């Protein structure tokens, strides 16, 4: 199933994102976690992609097993990090052999300790180049790309970020998935700006429930998102109470999702950090209604 087909079917898509652990025990624990989600009937699950060969093989293996054995539609992430065109072409061939139809094409983050992305010789420096390459040589894939409601942290300006996004879409993107955000006003304003810029592909909202104050602060600093002042005040007031933080985070994310669905969002994509309990609870509520 191509994700684009479901996006045009009417109801918003609901999906989860996971990353493949480096060790075999963690890999099989994650596989069982994803398998347990089947009764919820998510539209798809996505699996992130490691640089330098670290988890690339596990990404291909995991999405193949999800497709073949679990019966949930998978989407494989693919980045430009540490890979030549030939190496990327090999991964795409392997994904096709596994009958994977959906790929999220990303530039990827700079290596740890570096603030600048530098492509390898014979590789790609930007996501739009990767997207164009896939469209030219592997056009059977349904392609997603990332967007940033609060602006990419490396972009010179919001306008420059929007120009870069349009390059990606024009290169052949079928849909967009947003970076995490906590204020729906940012998402709706961004969606309106993209539409005025002629970007017409469906946009899926990326949601990450707050489970830890410190972890959430680290993530927002890395991706350029902000925590609304009132939400920050509430979680900092109970920072040492894990369950209290979790409940506040789940409530905020649930209200976010309900408002997004009322606002006609194309889909909601949960960043699980490989912990599905909170996102599963929110997912079930959205499936059954408040």
Place of tokens 């330098």: 52
Q: Per-domain residue ranges for the chain?
A: 3-288
pTM of the predicted protein model? 0.94
Are 219 and 180 in contact by the 8 Å Cβ rule? The answer is yes
- The CA distances from residue 195 to 80, 165, 200, 201, 203, in Å, are 27, 12, 6, 9, 10
Largest CA distance in the chain: 53
Which pLDDT value is given to residue 119? 85
DSSP state letter for 239? T
Which pLDDT value is given to residue 167? 97
Distance CA 62, CA 59 (A): 5
Kindly report, residue by residue over 206-217, the tens digit of the pLDDT: 999 999 999 999
Which pLDDT value is given to residue 112? 64
- The CA distances from residue 270 to 102, 126, 172, 276, in Å, are 17, 25, 24, 9
Which pLDDT value is given to residue 51? 52
Which pLDDT value is given to residue 160? 96
Distance CA 230, CA 207 (A): 18
Distance CA 171, CA 199 (A): 12
Residues assigned a catalytic role: 17
User: Which candidate, 261, 108, 95, 253, places its Cα nearest to that of 183?
Assistant: 253
142 contacts: CB under 8 Å, gap ≥ 6:
2, 3, 4, 5, 101, 102, 103, 174, 175
Are 160 and 131 in contact by the 8 Å Cβ rule? The answer is no
**Stretch (H or E) spanning 206:** strand 203-207
Are 45 and 17 in contact by the 8 Å Cβ rule? The answer is yes
Which pLDDT value is given to residue 54? 57
Fold of 3-288: TIM Barrel (3.20.20)
The dihedral region occupied by 71, where left means phi > 0, alpha psi between -120 and 50, and beta the remainder, is: left
Q: Is 44 helix (H, G, I), strand (E, B) or coil?
A: strand
pLDDT by position in tens, the chain (length 290): 999 999 988 789 999 999 888 788 888 899 899 999 999 999 999 999 865 445 678 889 999 999 999 999 999 999 998 899 999 999 999 999 999 999 999 998 876 666 678 888 999 999 999 999 999 999 999 999 999 999 999 999 999 999 999 999 999 999 999 999 999 999 999 999 999 999 999 999 999 999 999 999 999 998 889 999 999 999 999 999 999 999 999 999 999 999 999 999 999 999 998 888 899 999 998 877 54
Distance CA 77, CA 41 (A): 21
Place of tokens 């870069």: 164
């Amino acid at each position: 199933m191509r994700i684009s087909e479901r996006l045009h079917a009417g109801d918003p898509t609901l999906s989860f994102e996971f990353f493949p652990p480096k060790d075999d025990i963690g890999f099989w624990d994650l596989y069982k976690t994803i398998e347990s989600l089947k009764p919820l009937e998510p539209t798809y699950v996505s699996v992130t992609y490691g640089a330098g060969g670290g988890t690339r093989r596990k990404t291909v293996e995991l999405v193949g097993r999800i497709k073949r054995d679990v019966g949930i539609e998978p989407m494989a992430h693919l980045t430009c990090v540490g890979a030549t065109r030939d190496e990327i072409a090999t991964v795409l061939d392997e994904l096709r052999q596994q009958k994977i139809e959906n790929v999220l094409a990303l530039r990827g983050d700079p290596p740890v300790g570096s603030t600048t992305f530098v492509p390898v010789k014979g590789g790609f420096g930007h996501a739009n180049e990767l997207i164009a390459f896939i469209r030219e040589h592997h056009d059977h894939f349904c392609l997603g790309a990332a967007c940033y409601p609060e602006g990419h942290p490396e972009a010179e300006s919001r306008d420059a970020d929007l120009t870069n996004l349009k390059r990606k879409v024009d290169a052949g993107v079928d849909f967009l998935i947003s970076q995490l955000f906590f204020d729906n006003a940012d998402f709706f304003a961004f969606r309106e700006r993209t539409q005025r810029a002629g970007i017409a592909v469906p946009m899926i909202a990326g949601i990450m429930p707050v489970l830890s104050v410190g972890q959430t602060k680290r993530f927002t600093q890395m991706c350029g998102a902000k925590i609304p002042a009132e939400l920050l005040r509430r979680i900092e007031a109970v920072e040492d109470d894990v369950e209290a933080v979790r409940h506040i985070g789940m409530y905020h994310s649930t209200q976010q999702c309900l408002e997004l669905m009322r606002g006609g969002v194309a889909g909601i994509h949960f960043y699980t950090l490989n912990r599905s309990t909170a996102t599963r609870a929110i997912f079930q509520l959205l499936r059954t209604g408040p």
